[in-house]
């Protein structure tokens, strides 16, 4: 668009908005114009659906990433706990006293 000083279009528009296409359909009455209008409106609907799907996908990935980070943090803490040295290991199993001491 040009400035207010020059009062006019400096550049022609490259695309119509969805509302512009709807207004154009009320002016053009030929069969071909109606078919093209319907195709353009369907394209806008598909574009809107893809944007909504992308938003849902983005939210799902963010939720999954948050959940996985929490789980990996828990696993990492458990591994550090299990691998940390705690001193001398305790012997396990059955311990039998000397027979000479029992009499």
| In the chain, % of residues over pLDDT 70 | 77
The answer to whether the predicted template modeling score (pTM) of the entire model surpasses 0.75 is no
Tens-digit pLDDT profile for residues 7-52: 566 766 667 777 877 777 778 778 888 888 888 888 888 988 888 8
Question: Residue 36 and residue 30: Cα distance in Å, rounded?
Answer: 10
* Helix or strand holding residue 82 (H, E): helix 31-83
**C-alpha 47: how far from its chain's center?**
17
């Amino acid at each position: 668009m040009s400035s207010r000083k020059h009062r006019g279009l400096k550049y022609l528009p490259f695309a119509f908005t969805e509302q512009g296409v709807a207004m154009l359909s009320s002016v053009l009455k030929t069969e071909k114009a109606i078919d093209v209008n319907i195709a353009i409106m369907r394209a806008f609907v598909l574009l809107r659906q893809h944007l909504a799907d992308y938003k849902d996908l983005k939210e799902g990935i963010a939720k999954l990433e948050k959940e996985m980070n929490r789980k990996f943090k828990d696993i990492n803490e458990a591994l550090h706990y299990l691998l940390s040295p705690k001193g001398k290991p305790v012997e396990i199993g059955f311990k039998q006293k000397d027979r000479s001491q029992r009499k």
